[in-house]
């Protein structure tokens, strides 16, 4: 998929902080708003990015099934893999496709090469006729080029223009072309009212880029990471503010120049970009919508160097981000309202365990590469997005890679000393078929797991069990944790409805072979009860 960085991770000098005075107990006052619309038309949405530096990554068809099961309809890809796009075409998924940084020179120096790229990578998936579903929602040319590959910056705009021209020639000008920028192109961003673009880039690159985006109705793509803002603030920014959690009035962020209150760091970053755009005074720049092409939080990192990289914090950030965008839709203090709410892509779907660098680099995913959740988001009711991934609907099933004898022994314990109700897997009952050890054990494991209130460790079974967010119910067999039980007289009754969770392709839920499941269950328990001590100090002061 080519080289790529995230949040300026190649240099780690992605953002400088300049604290400003905290004004206490002031009422929020509205200054003249910067008029910037939400990215694209229609309602704001949340998508996910999909990297491929993953051990045992799902096949394209299994990945498409997984996205459908999780109700994910928007993804960002870092290349334009035709195999994956073909699989996504049948799943109703819309994808931002990427041009890797190492392809910029060829596309930027030759319009013919750009036209060929569009013909091979876009046309088959752009809905030009009834046999080619429209999968591609936008093209992201390069990724954080100013910091990741500054030598390619001279060819970035030509590449964007050549691809846009090729799309227009193919009657596909409705597909926007842009480039994801790092937040580090904005200097002095806190408070937002004093932000401006890096002067070495402002006139030569950012201004013509904004002009192109305005002329083609394309969004300004930005990778925004409150996690790095928190890390680099050295205690100035409270953790809760980075995680979208409410603060007491005495600790709220207030811009002293506008008197606008900021309840979270992401909105402050977005408004800093808006001010930088306004200050540049580029033609049409104020009308360009903003699209957050990456944001997220790592679930694990070096304990000393990255103390905030925990599962609890990752859960809080991503869960609250989804609620912020899909349910609250507040916009930002400078651009309030649902009409100005920026859509966002969570970085990322899978842990990319093959990525080099700090420990956290391999731990940004919502799921492991085989589809098992790294942690369980609290997103119930968020317009169905990640609808299966909630703490109210988890199940315990037999791990596919567990030894069959171990599975049998664990099932015997669950139905015996564990006192799980295993009636439904007896001959003639609803869950007797299929008549095999793993199927029966999955029911027994879930019966015990649910009877214990889904307590941590109750799905271990000496490594034979695994937690999943997919409802394993099938036909008339309803598992104890299924929400469909409320519509049934019992586990043995006939059920004509279809389970809302997509359980197809059970292999995609397999735990990674050789992973010490006991250790990670213990780690989850420890993290779930850990107390994060936040230093009670004012910030931006």
Mean pLDDT lowest for which of 16-25, 359-368, 455-464? 16-25
Q: Report the residue count for the chain.
A: 541
pLDDT score of 505: 26
- 3-state SS, residue 484: helix
pLDDT score of 6: 60
CATH of 46-367, one of 3.20.20.100, 3.30.300.100, 3.20.20.80, 1.10.472.50: 3.20.20.80
Interatomic CA distance for residues 442 and 504, integer angstroms: 15
Query: pLDDT for 106-144, tens place per residue?
Result: 999 999 999 999 999 999 998 877 666 789 999 999 999
In this structure, how many other beta carbons lie within 10 angstroms of the beta carbon of residue 52? Answer: 15
152 pLDDT above the threshold of 90: yes
> Which is more confident, 274 or 517?
274
In this structure, how many other beta carbons lie within 10 angstroms of the beta carbon of residue 303? Answer: 10
Interatomic CA distance for residues 444 and 411, integer angstroms: 6
23 pLDDT above the threshold of 70: no
- Alpha-carbon Rg for the chain, nearest whole angstrom, is 25
- Write the CA distances from 211 to 154, 208, 280, 286, 303, integer angstroms: 17, 5, 11, 10, 44
**Cα 445-370-451 angle, rounded to 5 deg:** 20
Q: Which residue has tokens 């990674």?
A: 512
286 pLDDT above the threshold of 60: yes
32 pLDDT above the threshold of 70: no
This prediction has a pTM of: 0.72
pLDDT score of 249: 80
pLDDT score of 504: 25
* Torsion angles phi and psi, residue 241, rounded to 5: -70, -35
Query: Average of pLDDT values for 4-12?
Result: 47
> Which is more confident, 27 or 424?
424
Percent of the chain's residues with pLDDT above 70: 78
184 pLDDT above the threshold of 60: yes
390 pLDDT above the threshold of 60: no
| Domain coordinates in residue numbering, the chain | 46-367, 395-484
513 pLDDT above the threshold of 80: no
pLDDT score of 454: 83
Q: Which residues are catalytic?
A: 144, 294
- What does 33-56 look like in DSSP terms, one character per residue? PP--PBSSSSS--EEEEE----TT
- Write the CA distances from 33 to 211, 218, 332, 471, integer angstroms: 21, 21, 10, 46
Interatomic CA distance for residues 230 and 241, integer angstroms: 9
Dihedral sign computed on CA atoms, order 379, 380, 386, 389 = positive
Among 55, 105, 47, residue whose Cα is nearest residue 77 = 47
14 pLDDT above the threshold of 90: no
The pairing of beta strand 465-468 with beta strand 395-398? antiparallel
On average, the pLDDT of the chain sits at: 81
């Amino acid at each position: 998929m080519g080289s790529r960085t995230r949040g300026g991770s190649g240099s780690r000098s992605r953002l400088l902080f300049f604290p400003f005075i905290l004004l206490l107990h002031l009422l929020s006052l509205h200054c003249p708003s910067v008029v910037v619309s939400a990215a694209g038309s229609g309602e704001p949405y949340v998508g996910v990015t999909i990297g491929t530096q993953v051990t045992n990554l799902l096949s394209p068809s299994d990945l498409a099934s997984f996205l459908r099961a999780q109700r994910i309809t928007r993804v960002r890809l870092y290349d334009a893999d035709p195999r994956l796009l073909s699989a996504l075409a049948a799943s109703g998924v819309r994808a931002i496709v990427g041009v890797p940084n190492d392809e910029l020179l060829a596309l930027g120096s030759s319009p013919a090469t750009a036209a060929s790229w569009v013909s091979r990578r876009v046309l088959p998936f752009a809905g030009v006729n009834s046999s080619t579903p429209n999968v591609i929602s936008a093209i992201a040319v390069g990724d954080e080029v100013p910091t990741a590959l500054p030598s390619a910056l001279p060819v970035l705009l030509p590449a964007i223009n050549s691809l846009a021209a090729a799309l227009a020639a193919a009657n596909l000008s409705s597909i926007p072309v842009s480039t994801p920028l790092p937040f580090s192109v904005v200097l002095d961003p806190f408070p937002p009212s004093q932000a401006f673009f890096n002067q070495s880039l402002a006139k030569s690159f950012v201004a013509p880029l904004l002009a192109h985006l305005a002329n083609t109705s394309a969004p300004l793509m930005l990778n925004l990471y409150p996690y790095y803002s928190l890390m680099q603030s050295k205690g100035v920014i409270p953790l809760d503010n980075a995680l979208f959690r409410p603060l007491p009035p005495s600790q709220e962020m207030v811009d002293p120049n506008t008197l606008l209150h900021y309840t979270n760091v992401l909105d402050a970053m977005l408004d800093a970009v808006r001010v930088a755009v306004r200050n540049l005074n580029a033609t049409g720049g104020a009308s360009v919508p903003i699209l957050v092409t990456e944001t997220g939080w790592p679930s694990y990192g070096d304990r000393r160097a990255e103390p905030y990289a925990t599962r609890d914090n990752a859960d809080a950030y991503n869960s609250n981000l989804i609620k912020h965008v899909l349910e609250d839709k507040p916009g930002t203090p400078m651009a309030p309202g649902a009409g100005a709410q920026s859509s966002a892509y969570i970085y990322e779907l899978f842990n990319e365990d093959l990525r080099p660098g700090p420990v956290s680099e391999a731990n940004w995913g919502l799921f492991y590469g085989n589809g098992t959740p790294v942690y369980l988001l609290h997103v119930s009711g968020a317009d169905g997005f990640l609808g299966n991934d909630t703490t109210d609907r988890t199940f315990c099933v037999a791990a596919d890679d567990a030894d069959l004898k171990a599975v049998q022994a664990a099932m015997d314990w669950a139905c015996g000393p564990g006192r799980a109700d295993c009636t439904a897997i007896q001959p003639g009952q609803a869950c007797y078929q299929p008549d095999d050890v793993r199927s029966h054990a999955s029911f027994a494991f879930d019966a015990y797991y649910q009877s214990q209130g889904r307590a941590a460790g109750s799905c271990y079974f000496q490594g034979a069990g695994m937690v999943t967010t997919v409802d394993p119910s099938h036909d008339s067999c309803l598992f104890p944790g299924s929400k469909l039980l409320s519509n049934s007289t019992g586990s043995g009754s006939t059920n004509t409805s279809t389970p809302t969770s997509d359980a197809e392709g059970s292999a995609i839920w397999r735990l990674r072979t050789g992973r010490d499941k006991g250790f990670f269950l213990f780690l989850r328990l420890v993290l779930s009860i850990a107390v994060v001590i936040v230093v009670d100090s004012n910030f931006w002061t």
